[in-house]
Structure 1
Amino acid sequence: MTSTVVVREYAYLTTAPVVVNTLDRAHISESAFRWLVELGQQFRRNGLPLFELDSQKLLRLDNYVGVLESPCGTVIEVLPKHTTEQTSAAEARALLKRLIKTSMQLSVREADFADVERFEMPIREWLITYFLSELEVLLKRGLQFDYQVREEEARFLRGQMDIAKQLRQPPGKAHVFNIRHDLFLPDRPENRLIKSALVAVCSATQDNDNWRLAHEMLSQLLQLPESSDPRADFKSWSTDRLLTHYRPIKPWCEFILNQHVPLSVSGGWRGISMLFPMEKLFENYVAEQLRRAIGSKGTVRTQLATEYLCQHKGKGVFKLIPDIEVVIGDKRWILDTKWKLLDVYDGGSTYGLSERDFYQMLAYGNQLLGCSGHLMLVYPAWDKFQASKNIELFHFSQTLTLSVSSFCLTKDSLASTTEVYRKLLNNELSEEAHTSRRSAR
């Protein structure tokens, strides 16, 4: 029997009795708790803190969001914590869906499933729904077949005779031919992965419509084998132009077959699970929105790793990897996103900003901008840091400045993106004016 627990980042999961499950504290079964403890130990060995174990009956989640399915049937849905107040699961779930679709650049056929968002569909069922919609379109266009060589013994000639084997044929089998021929079959890596994902969906879905549609399509793929090595088959996924119609379904197969979770989750139990670090989702979302706003005027790149903090014996030491680089013409900006609820009212004179982050931005400014230009820290907007709140510029020097901006996730992201874009341009213009006045003096 499947049970679902819905919480958000940094929530507490416990085996002790809980009066009412909330997004910040929920009860789970003993078996699910033990599985999470074992899973967390594997995560920690890989340098990924999934949670902190406070006691034998209580653990605290970290900043990973998504879905975890335990062997006992417990589905744990972890949603973003974009405010300290209690919010509805539907609001947080809608935010997570938007972040995943945008940051992973997933193709979603909203026109075909316009009614889906009207329901509080869990993340797992949402994932299954769109996987099935893409698969339905693919099956209508037809699976890609390929020629495969078969070598066998037969009583009739077909294809080519294997002369070397035939000459070694014993007299008692002189009437049997050793032949080699091609068969036009759908047994390709892409199709095997689709079959494996569909089988997983059939056993996992709890939605009646999804169950019916999944089994209908499974009946069309009965002759197709499942993938025995998904990782190898994903590496063999062809990018040939004849398989262009396969591209939209690939990321959904990766989700279903646990390719978007750390290796430790994929081993052993293979429930439908997906986990994302929220800071990465936020970074990708901001970058993608900026990319759309700037368009052809410039370029937006993420995780730029071209410079080092210092040189030692002729080699770079400590690689610098800023989150986002924006280039428009001859202007260049460096942005770093921080998934942290910044309290600008109770944070004192420094607004609760981290000194460590400022040292990091100073290193970016020195090495990437040549001590002249503009840097920006981007935080999610919430009640204590609204998009309308302006924080004055921080000056590392007369030529290097840093601004702090909020990015609204719950309302119109385009307006928030435009505000970030405007701040970049305005700060650059004000810095140019400041430099001109200094030169005139």
Structure 2
Amino acid sequence: MTELVVVREYAKLTTCPVLQPTLDRASVSKSAFEYLCRLAGQFRADGAQLLEIEGSQWLRLDNFVGILETPCGTTIEILPKHVEAGASPEAARALMTRMIQAALDLPTRQVGPADLALFNAPLSEWVRRQFLTALEHLLKRGMKFDYLRIEDEQRHLRGQLDVIRQLRQPPHRAHYFHTRHDVFSLDSPENRLIRSALLRVAQSTQDPLNWRVSHELLQVLAEVPPSRDLISDFKAWRGGRLMAHYGHILPWCQLVLGQQMPLAVQGTWHGMSLLFPMEKLFERFVEATLLRQLPNTASLKRQSREAHLCNHDGRGFFQLRPDLVLEYAGQRVVLDAKWKRLTASRDHRYGISQSDFYQLFAYGHKYIDAGQQLKELVLIYPGTAAFNAPLLPFSFGGGMTLWVVPFELGDRTGDERLILPTEMTMAQAVKFDPLP
């Protein structure tokens, strides 16, 4: 019996009974609690902070979102913190799937908004549904057959006789023929990986529709053997014109089989485990949106590494890597995305961290040419009810201005956008394409 626990970032989990579970506090079984503690130790050894343990009965999650399936059958879904504690999780789940698609550049074949509204399953089931949809589309296009060389010892002659091996045949086996022949087969690295992913989906899904479709497709692919070496088969995955129609299903195979995850749980347990650092997910989401909306005359570069904070002994020290650098008409604008909820209170500095201003100040001096008359920096935060319009500009002096602007997350793909003040030079010089 599986159990679904839905929480959000920085939520607390406990083994004690919780009378009224919320997105910030929930109860899990003791076995799931112990598994999370062991998992936190593995992440800590790799330099990542998954959660903090508070005593023997409480733990607090960090800024990761996604899905975790434990061996005892508990599924923990971690949603973005922008959703209110008493709100329905469907909106946060839809936002998270759109962010993951943008971050990993995943193809999707959704029917439309109605399809999204009807699908309220956890993230793991959404990934399985996308894989099955891509596989159904591939079967309609036709799977790739290949000639497979078979070398065998048979009582009858089939194909080409292997003369050298036949001459070495002992007398008591002279009536057997060593032959070589080709078989037109579906046994290829790509099809083996698809069959393995399909088996994983059929064995782990809890959604009735996913269960039915996966078992139907297993009958269609009955003659395809599963992969015996996932890593080698993924390396052997072919591209090119003849395999172009396989391109849509590759990333979904990688997600289902655990080969394309920012932080994947590896080991003997093979549940669906997708964990994404929310800061990086938001950064890639902003980048994907801007790339879709900026005109062709502008260029956007991510994680530029061309500048250092200082030089020492002829070498750069402390590399500076802004999230995004926008270039247009010989001008540069540095943008940095922060996944943090701002407030409308000026008395508390809107909730902005002083270190963020120091960071942008250094970016501006190192990435924007001193001869540029107007030096504009942009801090991007998720838009909320309390933060739905750009703040008044912050002046660093010397013509350098910092803008703090909201990013509307939207309800569906195409609704998200960056809200810029009209008096900002970037908003005047770079005309965004109208939203669809």
User: Cα deviation per residue 1:93-126 (whole Å; 9 max; x = unaligned)?
Assistant: 1221222223333222222794342342222222
Q: For 2:166, what is the secondary structure of its paired residue?
A: helix
Distance 1:422 1:68, change over 3 A: farther
Residue 359 of structure 1 is matched in structure 2 by 358
Residue 248 of structure 1 is matched in structure 2 by 248
Contact 1:326 1:333 in 2 (8 A): yes
Residue 293 of structure 1 is matched in structure 2 by 293
For structure 1, which segment, 38-47 or 290-299, has the greater mean C-alpha deviation from structure 2 after superposition?
Answer: 290-299
Contact 1:83 1:383 in 2 (8 A): no
Show the 5 A alignment for 1:135-174: 135-174=135-174
Distance 1:346 1:229, change over 3 A: farther
Q: For 2:92, what is the secondary structure of its paired residue?
A: helix
Residue 392 of structure 2 is matched in structure 1 by 392
Provide the C-alpha distance between the structure 1 equivalents of 2:234 and 2:119, rounded to a whole number of angstroms: 33
For structure 1, which segment, 354-363 or 47-56, has the greater mean C-alpha deviation from structure 2 after superposition?
Answer: 354-363
Distance 1:223 1:415, change over 3 A: closer
Deviation of 1:173 after TM superposition, in Å, equals 2.4
User: Cα deviation per residue 1:61-101 (whole Å; 9 max; x = unaligned)?
Assistant: 11111110000110111111115553211121122122222
Q: Which amino acid aligns with 1:385?
A: F
Residue 384 of structure 2 is matched in structure 1 by 382
Provide the C-alpha distance between the structure 2 equivalents of 1:97 and 1:346, rounded to a whole number of angstroms: 34
Show the 5 A alignment for 1:170-189: 170-189=170-189
Deviation of 1:34 after TM superposition, in Å, equals 0.5
Q: Which runs of 5+ in 1 are unaligned?
A: 430-441
Residue 89 of structure 1 is matched in structure 2 by 89
Deviation of 1:357 after TM superposition, in Å, equals 1.7
Contact 1:347 1:353 in 2 (8 A): no
Contact 1:255 1:273 in 2 (8 A): no
Distance 1:253 1:62, change over 3 A: same
Contact 1:308 1:367 in 2 (8 A): yes
Deviation of 1:263 after TM superposition, in Å, equals 6.3
The number of aligned residues is 426
Contact 2:410 2:416 in 1 (8 A): no
Residue 432 of structure 2 is matched in structure 1 by none
Provide the C-alpha distance between the structure 2 equivalents of 1:129 and 1:403, rounded to a whole number of angstroms: 41
Q: Which amino acid aligns with 2:2?
A: T
User: Cα deviation per residue 1:248-303 (whole Å; 9 max; x = unaligned)?
Assistant: 11121122112344666121200012111111111111111111111323222222
Provide the C-alpha distance between the structure 2 equivalents of 1:340 and 1:268, rounded to a whole number of angstroms: 36
Q: Which amino acid aligns with 1:357?
A: D
Deviation of 1:169 after TM superposition, in Å, equals 2.0
Provide the C-alpha distance between the structure 1 equivalents of 2:263 and 2:395, rounded to a whole number of angstroms: 43
Residue 24 of structure 2 is matched in structure 1 by 24
Show the 5 A alignment for 1:43-192: 43-83=43-83, 85-111=85-111, 114-192=114-192
User: Cα deviation per residue 1:155-204 (whole Å; 9 max; x = unaligned)?
Assistant: 33333333332232222222322222322222222211111111111122
Distance 1:417 1:424, change over 3 A: farther
Contact 2:129 2:210 in 1 (8 A): yes
Contact 2:23 2:85 in 1 (8 A): no
Show the 5 A alignment for 1:322-361: 322-345=322-345, 347-348=347-348, 350-361=349-360
- Give the percent of matched residue pairs that are identical in Structure 1 and Structure 2: 46
Q: Which runs of 5+ in 2 are unaligned?
A: 430-436
- Determine which structure has the larger helix proportion and give its number: 1
Contact 1:260 1:274 in 2 (8 A): no
Q: For 1:192, what is the secondary structure of its paired residue?
A: helix
Residue 438 of structure 1 is matched in structure 2 by none
Q: Which amino acid aligns with 2:354?
A: E
Provide the C-alpha distance between the structure 2 equivalents of 1:310 and 1:394, rounded to a whole number of angstroms: 25
Q: Give me the CA root mean square deviation.
A: 2.4
For structure 1, which segment, 19-28 or 392-401, has the greater mean C-alpha deviation from structure 2 after superposition?
Answer: 392-401
For structure 1, which segment, 419-428 or 234-243, has the greater mean C-alpha deviation from structure 2 after superposition?
Answer: 419-428
